[in-house]
Chains A and B, each alone.
Chain A
Amino acid sequence: MRSPSSLRQEFLKKWILGLQVCNSSKNMNVFERKKAIKLSADVAMASARNGKTCWSRALIVNASRNDNGKEFVEKILGSDYERQNKNSTMNRRTRCRKILKRSCTTIRKAMKRSTPSRPKVFAFSVAKKMIKKRTQLLKSVVPGGEFMDEVSLIEETLDYIISLRAQIDVMKSFANATEIENRKKDRQW
């Protein structure tokens, strides 16, 4: 489907757009620049998925919530942003949330009626609780996780991890190259 190197290239292309925005505003201190770099990297990573995954759409929606993020989203996604916005991501999210809430309450009511109170079930339910707890944790670290069912969550997590690794690879190469350039320049002086 998508090779790691093509993912890295997609990310780099989009991240450069974001970095250009960073560099155009010259009066940033180190901390503000760090936040801008990180935000632009996340938006670039998400947009490299072209709206195909839930986590990437959620990340972009979250980033658009403040002015800085919105600037990156508009720069990096450009015309795609208008199109993806028109697909009413927000409406879908609120609809999904409502459907999820409704189905959770229905399932809870059904379980109350049919739960057997035998000791054999106890160990099984403890294991299930552990998995439930860990699943909740996973949902909190994956963007948009709270709206996903178990299967989607794992699929999205797989994709998210691969994208994060591509992001880190590129950022590392960039940092190393910048360092080498800096050292070269210092030697020239």
Chain B
Amino acid sequence: MVSGLINENPTVYERKERRVRTDSSNTDEFTVEPIDQLEIFDILFCSICTYSIVDIRDPEHPYSLEQLKVLTEDSVEVDDGKSYVRVTFTPTVEHCSMATIIGLSVRVKLMRSLPPRYKIDIRVAPGSHATEAAQS
């Protein structure tokens, strides 16, 4: 077990205002709306659950993954037509021991929220983590 904090002085960002979806002109309740980047991010930010992935507090600091920019909207690449989503997260330090847990939590959250046809790829942002290959 590592004694002492892994990242003593993390860079903390402003919590972004959630982008509100504007009313679409299509009010047909049977229309299938393709899943897009915002929806994936909302899944990760879901406030209906008792906790949301990006609100996970780093045990060392009272900041969430969103505030530490570990996960942002741009972290998400989605192609509904191909049933494919890729989430790339950026640990704050190179040898973050939480990286495997974060990766698994994101994967499980998406697997439970998305239709079974989806292929899910979770990646650590290139160059940001020592055990990058082990995460995928």
Binding between chains A and B: no
Q: Which residues of A contact B (CB under 8 A)?
A: none
Q: Which residues of B contact A (CB under 8 A)?
A: none
